[in-house]
Amino acid sequence: MKLEIGNFHVREIVFGEKTGYSKGILTINKKETLDFIMEDEHITKADIYIVKPGDKVRLCPVKEAIEPRVKLNGDALFPGYTGDLSKAGDGRTHALKDCSILVVGKHWGGFQDGLIDMSGEGAKYTYYSQLKNIVLVADTDEDFEKREQQKKNTALRKAGHKLAEYIAECVKELEPEDIETYELDPISKRSTEVQNLPSMVFVMQGQSQMEDGAYNDLVYGWDSNHMVPTYMHPNEILDGAVISGSFMPCSSKWATYDFQNNPTIKRLYKEHGKTINFLGVIMSNLNVALEQKDRSALFVAQIAKSLGADGAIVAEEGYGNPDADFVACIVALEDAGVKTVGITNECTGRDGKSQPLVTLDKKLDAIVSCGNVSELIELPPMETVLGELEALGRDGLSGGWANDEIIGPSVRDDGSIVMENNAMFCGDQVVGWSTKTMREF
């Protein structure tokens, strides 16, 4: 497989008469774009905004982030989901870089939705404050779930995925400013020099706990709750084969943008042939029953060992119940003789003194921490709010609350907020670009 991603680096986004791209300027015809969004009968209200780093803007409830892209061969950007099933990870895809589509609810939020501040103290907690963002603020007729804590957000999220391809169509026929190339020889066909390097696999434990549809990560449009651990070419992950689900406390989520730009995959690619032999990705799952967790761990270890892996990196999407999958997987890999590093956040309580994972094992001796989901964050009022800040204060968003007997409400009368890191949109960035670090005292 050879994937080429042609990059167009967006310096500025503006509204104008015609959607197009020229010399770093992305222009969007707002009316035509909204007309496209409103083609979905389930979207009842919609508006589009442009926000950039440094803007005094707070977004909440944020539901999804996607990088605008288009495939030159006409295949769907997200095969099996936004269009017919086709192979991802091969050929040419054009991408609008340094920007994203953010999907924000006009009303209501669930514990899988989050908050982004584009400036001030809050901006440092999430990667998406660093991007120029096209913000879709919309509402739907999905009344049945508005007051539910767990929301599928089906229409809103799919509108964002389709919008990402719609906008990127303007660069389909243009010559990119630079091209990233991702190519791996078949494992058994690699040179002796590469074969002699330490062999590595990346194990991605995506969200798949919900048996009801439309909550879990999708793999080629297929609900990952139905899959067992599977070997995938890393190019497939980078090229739209996997999209984010709608069930996971928000700081732990992997947005679709995170799959498209997974920095751990890109770093493993960079080291391939130099310091390691990158074997590929084992796409695993997160389960609820203990037997299912153990079975998946055995699958992962068997695949890794059969591939000849000397080492592995394991990353989990979420925490709490998924910690048992995470630990079981690492233990199974270590028992199989595969040296393993884990990447995860921690749930150590507001005082930081609780056990970081729900289960532990002495074989977890190399863990990269992405921070404490329960850490309290206090932020001043923001000049502009897109969406509905009250969503944070309805006992809905994980990390926000209506009223705490000690701290008071999450959303105060003056617009200032206090919340747990849980509610920061993709704030932990377990995929590999967390800005957090450990400090010794």
pLDDT digits 0-9 by tens, 149-197: 889 999 999 999 999 999 999 999 999 999 999 999 999 999 999 999 9
pLDDT of residue 153: 92
pLDDT of residue 61: 96
- Please give the average per-residue pLDDT across 347-353, as a whole number: 90
Work out the percent of the chain whose per-residue pLDDT is above 70: 99
The string of pLDDT tens digits covering residues 227-280 is: 999 999 999 999 999 999 998 889 999 999 999 999 999 999 999 999 999 999
- Please give the average per-residue pLDDT across 79-90, as a whole number: 98
Residue 31 — very low, low, confident or very high, per pLDDT cuts 50/70/90?
A: very high
pLDDT of residue 73: 97
CA distance 427 to 49: 22
pLDDT of residue 116: 98
Residue 38 — very low, low, confident or very high, per pLDDT cuts 50/70/90?
A: very high
pLDDT of residue 438: 65
Q: Within a 13 Å sphere around the CA of 342, how many CA atoms are in the beta-carbon half?
A: 28
pLDDT of residue 144: 84
The string of pLDDT tens digits covering residues 184-227 is: 999 999 999 999 999 999 999 999 999 888 999 999 999 999 99
Spatial strand order of the sheet with 12-15 comes to: 12-15, 25-28, 20-22
**Domain boundaries defined on the chain:** 2-423
CA distance 84 to 166: 16
Which among 251, 168, 207 has a CA at the least distance from the CA of 425?
A: 251
Instruction: Work out whether the CA dihedral 339, 299, 237, 258 comes out positive or negative.
Output: negative
pLDDT of residue 352: 87
CA distances from 156 to 38, 129, 252, 291, 383 (A): 11, 21, 20, 35, 25
Work out the percent of the chain whose per-residue pLDDT is above 90: 90
pLDDT at 437 over 80: no
pLDDT at 324 over 70: yes
Question: Helices (H) and strands (E) in the chain — how many of each?
Answer: 8, 24
Residue 441 — very low, low, confident or very high, per pLDDT cuts 50/70/90?
A: low
pLDDT at 29 over 70: yes
The string of pLDDT tens digits covering residues 417-432 is: 999 999 999 999 999 8
pLDDT of residue 247: 87
- Please give the average per-residue pLDDT across 61-90, as a whole number: 98
**What is the residue-averaged pLDDT of the chain?**
95
Of residues 353 and 260, more confidence is placed in 260
In contact, 343 and 313? CB cutoff 8 Å: yes
- Please give the average per-residue pLDDT across 144-148, as a whole number: 84
pLDDT at 396 over 90: no
Spell out the alpha helix ranges (H) of 24-128: 30-37
CA distance 203 to 281: 6
